[in-house]
Amino acid sequence: MQLTLRHTCLAALVAVGVGCTEKDQTPATVTVEDNQAAEQAATTATAAMEEKAIESGVDYHSYANMQDYRVQHIALDLDVNFDNKSISGTATLDIDALNDSGKPLLLDTRALSINAVDGLDGPQTAALKFNMGKKDDHLGTPLSIDLAGQKKIRISYSTAPEASGVQWLTPEQTAGKKHPFLFTQAQAIHARSFVPLQDSPKARITYSATIRTPKDLLAVMSANNDPKTEKDGEYQFEMPQKVPSYLIALAVGDLEFKAMGERTGVYAEPSVLEAAAKEFEDTEAMLIETEKVYGPYRWDRYDLLILPPSFPFGGMENPRLSFITPTVIAGDKSLTALIAHELAHSWSGNLVTNASWRDLWLNEGFTTYLTNRIMQLIYGDDRYRMEMALGYEDLKSDMADLPDSAEIMAIDLRGKDPDAVFSNVPYEKGSLFLYELENTIGRDNFDKFLRSYFDHFAFQSITTEDFLAYVESTLIAQYPDKLSKERFEQWIFQPGLLADAPKPQSPAFDNVDKHRNGWLEGKQELAAIDISKWTSHEWKYFLNGMPETLSQEQMAALDGAFNLTQAGNNEVAHSWLMLVVKNDYQPGFERVHSFLTSIGRNKFLRPLYRALKENGKLELAREIFNEAKVGYHPLSVKVNSAILYPEQ
Ligand code: BES
Ligand code: ZN
């Protein structure tokens, strides 16, 4: 399948007189002069785009006019106020004009109050005219600033309590129960809810920040955290390397630091610190081993921040400081692939970045592939094979439910909310594709390629087409007998899996299959299965491989033999609770309730709420959700209310 790349000038925009030049890359453009007409255009733009070909490199999720201006540096000066749940202060932007059109600067915002915009170029500050465009449900509100030739501007603003990228936690929602906590989560398009900026992964910036907090709390950022920092209520940060906007991150709480190695450590609430440092003690080794294969770690320190359980993801690769859910502190290092994954993003994602959310597979597919490799280096072959096989199963089960259009790695997200379209496809299909390449040309050769790919595109944001052009002149040219551009395009632009795509094998799981099938066929006693060496991987595979329906007797037998309703490992608990819901196994429902009200990780919430709904338990699901949602992150609230209240 060929992707047609042609320039699209939206008819709707032209009709209302909004310029569209060969260079124009903005999906919906507003101008100060003609704001109303442009608002109208923005509304109709989504519909018009549906029919047009996708333009590579266009960020359909940003209003910023990046073809006219590039923000180079952002200096933040912010107060964190827990009483009114607001971050307020100033963002000072250094701006490069790319042409002399003198157009207004368009920035992304969402639920921000903009109080003033000043130009700082001259000896005196000059108030600049600015204008808010029409709010779009997915994209937020464009802020248009008449720059009047200014290259340094200061925006005074404050965030709303419901800012989509910020979660404010009460003391009760933390481990210590004494202090409030705040964290931001900018990926994919939520940085705009706490900083007015060009919110696009192709707009790379350096940043600095002064953050003021209550005196007894520590602030940390995706920047140069100093492990020796004392709590005093005012903190300075520098991020001297160019990062995309979605990697700006801040957290504030009763945090302490513990070193794990020379370059690695953990920030966590005091009561979690020891357990976290123990669980993740292999982080330093992961860092060292990854460098050996993929080139130097270029970000100075690599620390982890352990969030309270409402963190909506497993992890987030904020540079120098990955944000991590506490739900992976299992006590046996069984879920440390998450750390390998966030660390791997220091190469695939943070160093070489997807240019738009359509290109997410370049971040997540490469990272998932690297994750498996790191797991093999640290924990050996069995673990490597199990991690890969579980990923493959996740992909298969996602694809059983997804429409064809969502099975395409370079997914068309125009007019869609990236949060709502999240799936395993960019992760696991992307990783499987790289696994095929590795198998085809040999591991050493493929590692060499990856290493030079990271070097070649270091600190750049690239599109799927940039990647294709690069492999054409490197890998494909080098191995013309083994590789073809057609095959690359099939993987990237076709739904589903190719008939001869690799299928990862795990001998450990073959053994699990044998026992599960034996039991289902009545040939194997549960008590006779040797589970003494099973880790959460075998358990997850054992449970996920159960048939759609089990009888009450079968459910009770499993629970009786293995005490699954009380499983402490969250991955295992989740797999079991999915069976509980699908089979209406009453003794497990109290645990469904306690699980959903104590964890905010959306990967667990979404399938459970969906299963409840699909199994005639919508009322119960709504009850639990309404009880739990005060504790959920705005993203988890949004995604799960769309499941439970689709009409709203
Ligand atoms: N960068 C992602 C999280 C993300 C992706 C946030 C897209 C918003 C939009 C992070 O690195 C990630 O993939 N987390 C996974 C880790 C897992 C695959 C090991 C998660 O949170 O479950
Ligand atoms: Zn990731």
The CATH number for 638's domain is: 1.25.40.320
Check if 191 has its Cβ closer than 6 Å to any atom of ligand 1.
no
The more confidently predicted of residues 216 and 7 is: 216
Nearest to 253 by CA among 171, 164, 185: 171
Q: Are residues 443 and 572 in the same domain?
A: no
Nearest atom (ligand 1) to Cα of 368: 18
Nearest atom (ligand 1) to Cα of 317: 11
pLDDT at 589 (0 to 100): 98
Q: Are residues 451 and 551 in the same domain?
A: no
Check if 326 has its Cβ closer than 6 Å to any atom of ligand 1.
no
pLDDT above 90 for 354: yes
State the Cα angle at 76 between 70 and 79, rounded to 5°: 150
pLDDT at 46 (0 to 100): 52
Q: Which ligand ends up closest to the CA of 188?
A: 1
Q: Is residue 230 part of a domain?
A: yes
Q: Are residues 477 and 608 in the same domain?
A: no
Q: Residue 207 sits in a domain of what CATH number?
A: 2.60.40.1730
Q: Which ligand ends up closest to the CA of 313?
A: 1
Nearest atom (ligand 1) to Cα of 345: 11
Cβ neighbours around 591 below 10 Å, total: 17
Q: Are residues 159 and 188 in the same domain?
A: yes
Q: Is residue 399 part of a domain?
A: yes
In the structure, what pLDDT confidence band is assigned to residue 52 with cuts at 50, 70 and 90?
Answer: confident
Q: Are residues 475 and 587 in the same domain?
A: no
Q: Is residue 462 part of a domain?
A: yes
Q: Is residue 1 part of a domain?
A: no
Q: Distance from the CA of 10 to the center of ligand 2, in angstroms?
A: 33
Q: Give the total residue count for the chain.
A: 648
pLDDT at 347 (0 to 100): 99
Nearest to 496 by CA among 405, 416, 410: 405
Q: What is the pLDDT of residues 267-308, one digit of tens each?
A: 999 999 999 999 999 999 999 999 999 999 999 999 999 999
Q: Is the dihedral of CA 42, 98, 100, 207 positive or negative?
A: positive
Q: Is residue 98 part of a domain?
A: yes
Q: Is residue 263 part of a domain?
A: yes
Q: Are residues 210 and 186 in the same domain?
A: yes
pLDDT above 80 for 2: no
Check if 187 has its Cβ closer than 6 Å to any atom of ligand 1.
yes
Check if 315 has its Cβ closer than 6 Å to any atom of ligand 1.
yes
CA distance 404 to 325: 31
Nearest to 297 by CA among 305, 306, 286, 308: 286
pLDDT at 51 (0 to 100): 66
Query: Structural domain of residue 536, as residue ranges?
Result: 516-644
Q: Are residues 366 and 446 in the same domain?
A: yes
Helix residue ranges per DSSP H, 331-403: 337-344, 360-379, 381-401
Check if 344 has its Cβ closer than 6 Å to any atom of ligand 1.
no
Q: Are residues 483 and 567 in the same domain?
A: no
CA distance 61 to 417: 9
Check if 314 has its Cβ closer than 6 Å to any atom of ligand 1.
yes
Element (H, E) at 575: helix 570-582
Q: Are residues 353 and 432 in the same domain?
A: yes
pLDDT above 80 for 338: yes
User: Mapping DSSP to helix (H, G, I), strand (E, B) and coil, where does residue 92 land?
Assistant: strand
* Assigned token pair, 86: 């607001």
What residues are labeled active site? 342, 427
Contact 4, 81 (CB under 8 A): no
Q: Are residues 558 and 460 in the same domain?
A: no
Check if 491 has its Cβ closer than 6 Å to any atom of ligand 1.
no
CA distance 581 to 616: 10
DSSP 27: S
In the structure, what pLDDT confidence band is assigned to residue 50 with cuts at 50, 70 and 90?
Answer: low
Nearest to 77 by CA among 94, 92, 64, 95: 92
Q: Residue 461 sits in a domain of what CATH number?
A: 1.10.390.10
State the Cα angle at 129 between 125 and 132, rounded to 5°: 130
Q: Are residues 316 and 168 in the same domain?
A: yes
Q: What is the pLDDT of residues 178-220, one digit of tens each?
A: 999 999 999 999 999 999 999 999 999 999 999 999 999 999 9
CA distance 592 to 37: 50
Over range 66-71, report the average pLDDT: 98
In the structure, what pLDDT confidence band is assigned to residue 318 with cuts at 50, 70 and 90?
Answer: very high
HEC string for 206-225: EEEEEEECCCCCEEEECCCC
* Assigned token pair, 469: 């052009």
Around ion ligand 2, residues with a beta carbon closer than 5 Å are: 364, 367
Q: How many domains is the chain partitioned into structurally?
A: 3
DSSP 574: H
Choosing from 462, 493, 524, the residue where a domain stops is: 493
Q: Are residues 314 and 443 in the same domain?
A: no
C-alpha dist (Å) from residue 1 to 4, 433, 468: 10, 17, 14
CA distance 153 to 310: 36
Mutate to test the pocket of ligand 1, among 246, 247, 341 (most ligand atoms within 8 A of CB): 341
High-pLDDT (> 70) share of the chain, %: 92
Q: Distance from the CA of 201 to the center of ligand 2, in angstroms?
A: 14
Q: What is the pLDDT of residues 84-108, one digit of tens each?
A: 999 999 999 999 999 999 999 999 9
Q: Distance from the CA of 323 to the center of ligand 1, in angstroms?
A: 10
Q: Is residue 508 part of a domain?
A: no
User: In the beta sheet, which residues pair with residue 105?
Assistant: 145
pLDDT at 604 (0 to 100): 98
Q: Distance from the CA of 372 to the center of ligand 2, in angstroms?
A: 13
